[in-house]
Homo-oligomer: A and B are copies of this chain.
Amino acid sequence: MPATVAQSPPAVVLNGRYQGEIQAVDQFLRFGPFRFACGKELPEVVLAYQTYGELNADSSNAILICHALSGNQHAAGRMPDRPTSRPWWDDCIGPGKAFDTNRFFVICSNVLGSCSGSSGPAEINPATGRHWALDFPIVTIADMVEAQVRLIDHLGIAKLLSVAGGSMGGMQVLQWASHHPDRLVSAMPIATTARHSPMQIAFDAVGREAITRDPYWHGGDYYDRTDKPDAGLAVARMVGHITYLSEQSMHEKQFGDRLNRDVGSGRTGRDFLKPEFQVESYLLYNGQKFPERFDANAYLYVTKAMDDFDLTQATGRLADAFRQAVDVKFLVLSFTSDWLYPSHQSRDLVRALNALGITVTYVDIDSVWGHDAFLLEPDRMTRILTNYLNGLAAGQA
């Protein structure tokens, strides 16, 4: 029962083109036992995934796409049975696009701990017949990747042509390169980091606080209740959305403009219930929609996985994480206006790779779109990715 109602459609539409040319279908892989990094073992876990294009005869054209915090396995195409589901990277995956499904076999799976069909807190614990809620093991980026390795094994792929992803997807890319370099030709970490910074942790932590302080959260056991912690999840999402934008893009979107310049006479605090600025309307719209497609506990699990991610943990030196990855080719992308995953984090990564003599191409893409740029700059990214993949394919041939 939100106290505030969005008055207008969102000022920014993400991924406007979602009527993909290709069809997308969910598939499910069940496997087990699966031992989590925390030591807990489950007899079986499930991964929901989709594939686009065809695997070639020698299985050399497979590209794994890794999704970000709120993403899922539906990266591209149209789902006939879920026509309102909006693929998050349809601009980059499809026939003739950057990840050209006429040439490549593209795979995307929902990460462990999330809520679009893969095992996570919102799924049923077979041992109890009830939702896992907080009894689900803590999930790490390493766990997400280990599950993806099982999926790639199942698909009969010895070596991926590439692993690509932005934000938390990029963390998975780095984990793949660090821990399974023999399974990759190339890695494409985009707008990401090898270790969450205090500021990144802080924003996630506030999101988690918004959820766990919602009285309807009930210690995570809200699945059988009428009232859900939707308000807390909405606030968490709004905090996130601010960090995905840039000051410049907010100005360009005229987010400082008032929806209603009538300051009228005799206004009281009752007027606080109506959004007054474009940016409020945008945040409200996106915050309120979010609980329709995302689970509050999953938000806790997945943000925690991001915060715990630290490839420098073993030795304190980032380069040490990639000592086994000397044969992996890296394409590192960042965006000039991304203040959540700022370019200097990518430069730190590039320096570490350089120190090992690893082949790395780095582009700091000039964009006003902030962190969202990895979703909103398909044209620039397509030029870079297409060139890079052509070069890779030529090198493989």
Whether A146 is near chain B, meaning CB under 8 Å from some CB there, is no
User: Provided the pairs A136-B268, A209-B284, A213-B231 are in contact, do residues A247 and B307 lie with their beta carbons within 8 angstroms?
Assistant: no
Q: Which residue on B lies nearest to A219, using beta carbons? A: B3
Whether A314 is near chain B, meaning CB under 8 Å from some CB there, is no
Bound together, the chains give a CA A276 to CA B40 distance in angstroms of 19
When distances are taken between beta carbons in the complex, the residues of chain B under 8 Å from A300 are: 269, 272
User: How many residues of A are in contact with the other chain, CB < 8 A?
Assistant: 78
Which residue of the partner chain, among B213, B220, B250, contacts A202 with CB atoms under 8 Å?
B250
Q: Are B267 and A38 in contact (CB under 8 A)?
A: yes
Interface string of A271-312 (1 = CB under 8 A from B): 111011111100110010000000001001100100110000
Q: Are B213 and A266 in contact (CB under 8 A)?
A: no
Which A240-263 residues have a C-beta within 8 angstroms of B? 242, 245, 247, 250-251, 253, 255-256, 263
User: Provided the pairs A215-B1, A250-B198 are in contact, do residues A220 and B339 lie with their beta carbons within 8 angstroms?
Assistant: no
Bound together, the chains give a CA A137 to CA B121 distance in angstroms of 45
Q: Are A205 and B38 in contact (CB under 8 A)?
A: no
Bound together, the chains give a CA A214 to CA B137 distance in angstroms of 29
When distances are taken between beta carbons in the complex, the residues of chain B under 8 Å from A270 are: 134-135
Interface string of A184-205 (1 = CB under 8 A from B): 0000000000011111011101
User: What 10 A-B pairs are tightest by C-beta distance, nearest first?
Assistant: A39-B265, A134-B269, A198-B255, A198-B250, A213-B231, A198-B256, A3-B212, A38-B267, A138-B267, A205-B280
Given contacts A37-B263, A137-B268, A198-B247, 4 further A-B contacts (CB under 8 A): A137-B266, A198-B277, A205-B280, A276-B304
